[in-house]
């Protein structure tokens, strides 16, 4: 897959194009992208995905502190590469771009700069100033600007139309299995190991404090999870248990959630390294125990459960 940052100076061969943020690159996105690559292959054309960075809501929101997303640009790019799409155009999303009307966007960017011949859209696609552009807008533009347009239906899982917002909701509720069923893969977080208070080490459960690389990365619901972890420079996947929360048994909550992971089958220094944790099972809610000994006993049980679930 060839990646272009910006939309000028590009020459495609009768491109079949789809566009969107593609947050999470979920099964609905993948269905759409398969249609693009299939149509392009039939016509000997280029298969092109157009995306935006940063996420438009980051630019348009007056308060970005509450925003969270499934993937950053690097993660989206890696996931899009897996789909077999030939070309990815990353358009910088700016306040100026947000003021462009939908017909202006189609005429200037899709037609004049990218030369669209066939545009394939999702079932609920909206774009342009104040999201006023929809499938009807695209059809009107296609008639005037001489390109084909196809609208895909929703991808359904257990009676629900898959969407990034629905996946974010599932993760916020701790339902990682539902999220995975819509993503087509297990949700993951990448972060750098930062210094902590070493409380877990003193209890026999050394943990690595993870600071996500993406400031707006969605963190699932507070609780304890069985995860698999990979460490940069190490090709192996490691069984691990992860806690998201406030450590109520150890400290008074300051309102800030921490992400701490205990790698069961790993020995070595993790400080400063990038660790990727992939969520496999939710074990339980975070709990406040009567004592550190009671907490340690429960962590032992959590570790046994994790080994039983993930043991290879």
- Note the pLDDT tens digit of each residue in 34-60: 999 999 999 899 999 999 999 999 998
The yes-or-no verdict on residue 148 having pLDDT over 90 is: yes
Residue at 57 is within a domain: yes
Verify that 37 and 112 share a domain, yes or no: yes
Same domain, 123 and 192: no
More confident residue, 90 or 61: 90
The answer to whether residue 87 is domain-embedded is yes
Number of domains the chain is built from:
2
The mean pLDDT value for 101-118 works out to 94
Residue that has been written with the tokens 């009671």 in this structure? 294
Average confidence (pLDDT) over 299-310: 95
Check pLDDT > 90 for residue 113: yes
Non-local CB neighbours of 216 within 8 Å, separated by 6+ positions:
55, 58, 64, 67, 68, 69, 72
Write the DSSP symbol of residue 145: H
Together in a domain, 21 and 155? yes
Higher-scoring residue by pLDDT: 183, 139: 183
pLDDT mean over 153-169: 95
- H/E element holding 104? helix 102-105
Question: How far does CA 161 lie from the centroid of its chain?
Answer: 18
Burial classification of residue 151, based on how many CB atoms lie within 10 Å of its CB (0-12 exposed, 13-18 middle, 19 or more buried): middle
Residue 7: band (very low, low, confident or very high) from pLDDT cuts 50, 70, 90: very high
Provide the pLDDT confidence category of residue 200 given band limits of 50, 70 and 90.
low
| Cα angle for residues 84, 87, 91 (degrees, 5° grid) | 130
The predicted-structure confidence for 258-295, as pLDDT tens digits, reads as follows 999 999 988 888 999 999 999 999 999 998 888 888 88
194 shares a domain with 149: no
Mark whether 146 and 9 lie in a shared domain: yes
Helical H runs in the chain?
A: 27-43, 56-60, 73-82, 95-98, 102-105, 135-145, 164-172, 176-183, 199-202, 292-310
Query: Could you tell me the residue range of the domain that residue 22 belongs to?
Result: 2-161
By C-alpha distance, which of 236, 223, 294 is closest to 265? 236
Shortest CA distance to 276 belongs to which of 263, 267, 286? 263
Look at residue 100 and tell me if it is in a domain: yes
What pTM value is reported for the model?
0.93
Segment 114-146, tens digit of pLDDT: 999 999 998 877 777 767 777 788 889 999 999
């Amino acid at each position: 897959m060839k990646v272009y940052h910006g939309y000028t100076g590009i020459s495609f061969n009768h491109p079949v194009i789809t566009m969107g943020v593609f947050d999470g690159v979920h099964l609905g996105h993948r269905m759409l992208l398969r249609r693009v690559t299939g149509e392009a292959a039939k016509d000997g054309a280029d298969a092109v995905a157009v995306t935006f960075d940063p996420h438009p809501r980051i630019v348009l929101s007056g308060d970005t502190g509450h925003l969270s997303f499934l993937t950053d640009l690097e993660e989206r790019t890696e996931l899009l590469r897996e789909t077999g799409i030939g070309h990815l155009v990353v358009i910088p999303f700016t306040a100026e771009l947000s003021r462009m009307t939908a017909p202006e966007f189609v005429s200037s960017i899709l037609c004049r700069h990218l030369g669209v011949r066939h545009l394939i859209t999702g079932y609920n696609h909206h774009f342009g100033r104040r999201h006023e552009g929809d499938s009807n807008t695209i059809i009107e533009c296609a008639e005037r600007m001489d390109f084909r347009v196809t609208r895909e239906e929703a991808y359904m899982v257990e009676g629900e139309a898959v969407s990034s917002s629905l996946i974010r909701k599932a993760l916020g509720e701790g339902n990682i299995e539902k999220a995975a069923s819509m993503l087509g893969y297990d949700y993951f977080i990448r972060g750098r190991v930062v210094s902590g208070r070493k409380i877990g080490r003193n209890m026999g459960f050394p943990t690595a404090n993870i600071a996500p690389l993406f400031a707006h990365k969605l963190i699932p619901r507070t609780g304890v999870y069985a995860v698999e972890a990979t460490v940069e420079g190490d090709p192996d996947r490691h069984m691990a248990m992860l806690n998201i929360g406030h450590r109520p048994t150890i400290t008074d909550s300051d309102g800030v959630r921490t992400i701490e992971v205990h790698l069961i089958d790993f020995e070595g220094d993790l400080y400063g390294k990038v660790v990727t944790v992939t969520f496999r099972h939710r074990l339980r809610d975070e709990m406040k125990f009567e004592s550190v000994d009671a907490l340690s006993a429960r962590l032992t049980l959590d570790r046994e459960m994790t080994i039983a679930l993930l043991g290879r």
